[in-house]
Amino acid sequence: MNMFSIGSFVRRPEFGAILSLIAVIAFYVIFGGVNLTTMFGAASWVNFAANLGIVALPVGLLMIAGELDISIGAMIPAGSMTIAIISGYYELPIIVGIVASLSIGVLVGLINGIISVKTTVPSLIITLGTLVAVQGFVLGASVLITGNASVALDSPQWAKTIFGQLIGGNYQVIIIWWFALTIIFAFVVHKMKYGNWIYAIGGDKISARNAGIPTNKMIITLFVLSSTSASFVGMCGAILFNSAQVSGGMNYIFNTIVAIVVGGVLLTGGFGSIIGIFIGALTFAIVNQGIYFTDIDRNWSSLIIGVMLLAAVLMNNSFRHMALTMMTKKKK
C-alpha cells in the first residue's frame, strides 16, 4: 500500500488547498494579466501570509479540535501595545516588554481555555467575550497610562534582528518564524502522538476522554498557543514599525478563518492538516495582495475571497465524501 494512489492523495486535507492555490494563480494570470515573476518576487504578499499564517496555525488546530478562537483579533493589538507601553513609554528593557507581551497571550489563552473546558458554552461565544473585553482593556489602559491610543517604541538592534527587521529591505523576518513554526507544528501534529489526540478530540470528545486523552489539558494548551501566537505577531509588528496602535487586528479574525477553511480544515473539527493551513494562508495572501499585481481593480478582492471560500468549502466537502466512498469501493 505504499504505492502512490490518487485515492490517498485526494484523502489528504491539503488536497483542496493546493487546488485553490492553483486556481487562484491561474485566475490572476488569465484574467488579471499578472506577471508571475514580478508577483512571486514581491514581498508584500509573503509578509502578509507570514503574519496571517502564524496565527492561523494554532487557530486551525483549535478548529481541528472542534473549538474556535476569535479573541486573536484583540490579542494582536494587545501584544503590540503591551510591549510598546512597557518598553516604549516606561522605557524598561525590551526583554521585559517581550515577556509581558507573550504573558498576556498566555493569560488570555488560559482564560479562554479554562472557561471552555469548565462550561458547555461554545468557544465562539467565550472568545467573543474575551475579544471585546481585551479590546476595551487595551484601549482603556492605553489612554489611562499614556493618554494616547498610539505609542512609539524604540527597540535595540538585537530585538529588531530577531523579531522585526526587513531582510533585503522588503522581507519581514517574521517569514522565517512562520516557516520554522510550520515545521515545528507539522512535526508535532503529524509525527507525534499529540496530533492524534487533537484529531480524536475533534472527532468525538467523549470517546477521546474515555480513551485516556487529557482532553481538557489539550484544549487549554491550544487556546494558550493561539492567543500567544497572536500577541507574538502583534509584538513583532510593534518592533518592526517602531510603534503600536490600539486599533487593528479585527481583520485577522475573518482572514484566519478563511485561510484555515481554504486550507482544508473541517469547521466541525476532526479533519485538517498543518500543510493545508500553511497553503491556506498562502492562498489567502495571494488573493488579497496579489490583486495589486493584476489589472483587476482591487475593490473586487473581497468578492474573489468570498467566492474562493465558498468554492473551497464545497470542494472540501465533496472531496471528503469522495475519499470516504472510494475506500468502501476499494474493498470489494
Partner 1 sequence: MSDNKPVLELRNVDKSFGPIDVLHDISLKVNKGEVLCLLGDNGAGKSTLIKTLCGVHKPTNGDILMDGEKVTFNRPRDAADMGIATVHQFGGTFPLMSIGRSFFVGVEPTKGWGPFKIYDRKKANEVAVKAVQDFGITRIDDGDRLIGGLSGGERQSLAIARAVHFGARVLILDEPTAALGVKQAAHVLRIVNQAKKRGLAVIFITHQVMHAMAVGDHFAVLIRGSIAADFRKGERSREEITDLMAGGETMAALEAEIQT
Task: Please name the residue that has the C-alpha cell 458554552.
Answer: 121
Task: Please name the residue that has the C-alpha cell 472510494.
Answer: 326
Q: Beta strand 166-167 with 171-172: parallel, antiparallel or unpaired? A: antiparallel
DSSP string computed for 194-235: HHHHHHHHHH-HHHHHHTT--HHHHHHHHHHHHHHHHHHHHH
The CA distance from 323 to 16, in Å, is 12
Q: For partner 1, which is the closer residue by CB, 180 or 192?
A: 192
Cβ contact 201:189 at 8 Å:
no
118 touches partner 1 (CB under 8 A): no
184 touches partner 1 (CB under 8 A): no
* Residue list 256-285, contact with partner 1 (CB under 8 A): 266, 270-271
Stretch that binds partner 1, among 129-137, 234-242, 257-265, 318-326 (CB under 8 A): 318-326
Min dist CB 55 to partner 1, Å, is 24
Q: For partner 1, which is the closer residue by CB, 251 or 325?
A: 325
The CA distance from 186 to 174, in Å, is 18
CA dist 270 to 63, 72, 214, Å?
A: 8, 22, 16
Q: For partner 1, which is the closer residue by CB, 225 or 239?
A: 225
Cβ contact 182:48 at 8 Å:
no
Min dist CB 191 to partner 1, Å, is 4
The CA distance from 63 to 83, in Å, is 29
Q: For partner 1, which is the closer residue by CB, 11 or 160?
A: 11
216 touches partner 1 (CB under 8 A): no
318 touches partner 1 (CB under 8 A): no
Stretch that binds partner 1, among 67-75, 82-90, 196-204, 231-239 (CB under 8 A): 196-204
Q: For partner 1, which is the closer residue by CB, 302 or 325?
A: 325
65 touches partner 1 (CB under 8 A): no
76 touches partner 1 (CB under 8 A): no
For residue 138, count CB atoms less than 10 angstroms from its CB and return exposed for 0-12, middle for 13-18, buried for 19 or more. buried
What is the Rg, in whole angstroms, of the alpha carbon atoms belonging to the chain? 20
- For partner 1, the binding residues (CB under 8 A) are 1, 8, 11, 191-193, 195-197, 199-200, 203-204, 206-213, 266, 270-271, 320, 323-328, 330-331
